[in-house]
Amino acid sequence: MFPFIFLFHYLLVYLSMQFKNKTDEELKQMSDEQLFEYLDAKAAYLKQHVRPLSGYLTKKYASISSAVTNSEFDYDGVTKIAKQNESASMAIFMNRMKDATNGI
């Protein structure tokens, strides 16, 4: 099991390093059209690696937000959203495992 986890972690790190970031000088030398193409490509690349927040982080950020805005904290609503995020996260994980094992 350990080699599989190591391989999975290695693949995630490798995928996150595929997109090369430009330096400030390179960005300044680009035309507006090239800059917007670069930003669109980077946004598309980053969208591939989004995931739903965990239940803990959903509750944490919601409580911080309600404290900052001085509004009432809706615990039941946040718990419902946290459960939805956790089930979506589990579905993403299961699909990735299914793809990694070729449906075995």
Render pLDDT for 65-100 as a digit per residue (tens, 0 to 9).
999 999 998 999 999 999 999 999 899 888 888 888
Specify if 75 maps to a domain: yes
pTM of this structure: 0.53
Q: Which residue has the tokens 């075995």?
A: 104
Average pLDDT over residues 2-27: 61
**Alpha-carbon distance values, 78 to 4, 20, 59, 63 (Å):** 35, 37, 6, 9
Q: What percent of the chain has pLDDT over 90?
A: 28
How long is the chain?
Answer: 104
Specify if 15 maps to a domain: no
3-state secondary structure 63-103: HHHHHHHCCCCCHHHHHHHHHHHHHHHHHHHHHHHHHHCCC
Specify if 102 maps to a domain: yes
pLDDT of residue 103: 60
Specify if 73 maps to a domain: yes
Number of structural domains found in the chain: 1
> Can you give the residue range of the structural domain that contains 60?
53-104
